[in-house]
Amino acid sequence: MEKGVNPSGKSGGPLIRLADVTKVYPLPAGDVTAIDHLSLEVEHGDFVAVMGVSGSGKSTLLNLIGCLDVPTSGDLFLNGVNIRNLADDPLTELRRDTIGFVFQQFNLIPLLTAYENVEFPLILSQGRDGGPGPGEIANRCRAVLSSVGLDESLATHTPSELSGGQQQRVAIARALVNDPDILLCDEPTGNLDTRTGTTIMELLAEMNRAGKTIIMVTHDQRVAGYARRRIELVDGRLA
């Protein structure tokens, strides 16, 4: 992928660049403009908290950067690649290789164990050029599970047998296992009690110190305090 073309990504420009991006959802009741001519740059290693009331366009922004959706107009560059005109497969490859998602609801696959949930993205990239072999998969899963502080004995448990904090650790491990450039977090502490939320935020801050670029949607001021930079959206525009 583009990682190969531009290995560090640091040589040319920002990691993420939005140039006059607009996202319009056509609805029967009339078009809804979720993102309105937004321009934004995020550098490598940054930690951005995206704030705003509900309906302000936070989630849409996250979905666009996360390659789950493409802009209606304007350009969005990830590592210098404009995603606007990409087809479904290359967008999916970007999600797999460049982006890690952490959700409010943890979104682990209920039928798979903690270990298998973490393994899943690696399995998806297995057998491709530069994809991991079976031995490497096992090593990376173990390494990433220990880096998020999940006890090894919990690896064989299914999500329903884990606490919220443990599930979120597994989710973060899953997001990190493909060594993505960007970690996208959507209210990562929204479903956790304050104390567990704090430990998760400390984990994310530690990942950021280790070099991960993080973009986090939240409306919790205290959580936003962990970020290096805050932006606030109002009606799809920067406030």
Partner 1 sequence: MILFDYARRNIRLHWFRSFLAVIGIVIGVVAISSMGVLGNSLVLSISDSLTTVGDTIVVYPQSGAGPMGGGGGGTTSFQITQRQVDQITRAVGTNLVIPVHTGADRVIMGKENQAVSLYGMDPADIPEILELEDGIFLRSTTGAMAGKRLAEEFDLNVGSTVVIGEDGERVRIVGILKERGIGFDINPDYALVVSDRWFESTYGEEGYNMVVVKVEDLEEIDAVKTAIEDALNRRTDVVTVLDTRAILQTILDAFNNISTFTTAIGGISLIVAGVSILNVMMMSVTERTREIGIIRSIGAKRREVMRIFLYEALVLGLIGAGIGGVLSFGGAFLAVSVMLQSTTYLFVPSSLVYILYGMLFGIGTSLLSGLYPAWRAANLNPIEALRHD
Contact footprint for partner 1 (CB under 8 A): 63, 66, 68-69, 88-89, 92-93, 95-97, 101, 103, 107-112, 116, 119-121, 123-125, 174-175, 178
How is residue 55 annotated by DSSP? T
Per the listing, tokens 């998806």 go with: 124
Buried b (16+ CB within 10 A) or exposed e, 67-97: bbbbbbebebbbbebebbebeeeebebbbbb
Tell the smallest beta-carbon distance from residue 167 to partner 1 (Å): 13
| CA 81 – CA 66 distance, rounded (Å) | 13
Residue among 125 and 166 whose Cβ is closer to partner 1:
125
**Torsions phi, psi for 17 (to 5 deg):** -140, 120
Note the helical H segments in 72-217: 88-98, 114-125, 134-147, 164-176, 194-209
Q: Which helix (H) or strand (E) is 59 found in, with range?
A: helix 58-65
Q: Which helix (H) or strand (E) is 230 found in, with range?
A: strand 229-234
Tell the smallest beta-carbon distance from residue 73 to partner 1 (Å): 19
| CA 134 – CA 122 distance, rounded (Å) | 9
Residue among 1 and 154 whose Cβ is closer to partner 1:
1
| CA 178 – CA 93 distance, rounded (Å) | 11
Residue among 125 and 213 whose Cβ is closer to partner 1:
125
Residue among 125 and 226 whose Cβ is closer to partner 1:
125
**Torsions phi, psi for 233 (to 5 deg):** -105, 135
Residue among 59 and 166 whose Cβ is closer to partner 1:
59
Residue among 131 and 149 whose Cβ is closer to partner 1:
131
